[in-house]
Amino acid sequence: MKRENLHQPFEITLSEVDDTNLKEHDHTFFELVYILTGTGIQWINNHKFPYHDGHLFLITPGDIHSFEIHTRTTFIYIKFNDIYIHSAVLGDDNIQRLEFILQHANHQPGCILRNTTDKLLVKPMIEAIIREYQNKHIYSTEIITQLINTIIIVVARNVAMFLPERLNDNSTDLVLNILQYIQSNICFPEKIKAKEICRHFGISPNYLGKYFKKQTNETMQQYILNYKMKMVESRLLHSDMRINEIVEELGFTDESHLNRLFKKYKDVSPTEFRKINKLL
């Protein structure tokens, strides 16, 4: 498998592909992939998601991914690394939080934009980046940089939907590591039991419960359930996975178990939720 590297803070590439599938690879940097035209399948970390024009994917360092082309597809790739993030005018505190948010994006495959408003916001910015990149007028680099910064912030906002809503600004590295551990092992129920998390981090069950609630303003079980529900929502909106496949992937007892929990979360069953949103 090929591994790509980036030798400058950011890089923009336009590419049109007919019927040649883009081979599986990973890289050491972040990559935004915007679909200008075309349809096909995105494969990432052994999951597949149909794509079409207007979809935006965020590939994080180490993600194994490829594209299966169904109709001629025009991609724009925006590649950037940690050096670029630190060079952006965001402030030290914002940079630290932004890095944490982006590193968690590999747990939400599919189109990273979760609502129509953000899709409408990003599209003209992508088009402006292409114009500036192709025409190379005076200050084009500066304009492109500002547009990329804005897109990254929009992406971070969408990724942050999967984090605790009230995560404290002064949260310590431990709770961030616990969150990352839970998200990385969300498909393995045994690994996200309190006993196993305590063993992994060398802390007591009593301390874990109080500490997690203090840092996130919700219990660990509430967080795990809410995160799973957001994962289910993402699968329903951005993949063609069947309900039984989602049940198996995320460790629910059976379809009725998922239906019951999801109705509490969205007031409709997973099947109804998918049908409603396909009509929008």
Fold for domain 2-162?
Jelly Rolls (2.60.120)
Domain parsing of the chain, residue ranges = 2-162, 173-278
User: Which of residues 163 and 136 earns the better pLDDT score?
Assistant: 136
Q: Residue 21, SS3?
A: coil
- List pLDDT tens digits, range 169-187: 455 668 878 887 888 788 8
Q: Which residues pair with 30 in a beta bridge?
A: 80
Residue 212 has pLDDT above 70, yes or no: yes
Average of per-residue pLDDT values in the chain? 84
pLDDT reported for residue 5: 67
Helix (H) or strand (E) run with residue 58 in it: strand 56-59
CATH 1.10.10.60 fits 173-278, yes or no: yes
d(CA 39, CA 45): 20
pLDDT reported for residue 169: 47
Least confident interval from 50-59, 82-91, 201-210, 216-225: 82-91
For the chain, the first-to-last Cα distance in angstroms comes to 39
Q: Which DSSP category does 46 fall into?
A: T
- List pLDDT tens digits, range 110-151: 788 888 899 999 999 999 999 999 998 899 989 998 999 899
Residue 90 has pLDDT above 80, yes or no: no
Mean of pLDDT values over 77-106: 69
Residue 93 has pLDDT above 60, yes or no: no
Can you list the alpha helix ranges (DSSP code H) found in the chain? 82-87, 92-103, 116-135, 140-159, 173-184, 194-201, 205-216, 220-238, 243-250, 255-266, 270-278
pLDDT reported for residue 95: 64
- Position of tokens 């090929």? 2
d(CA 144, CA 83): 16
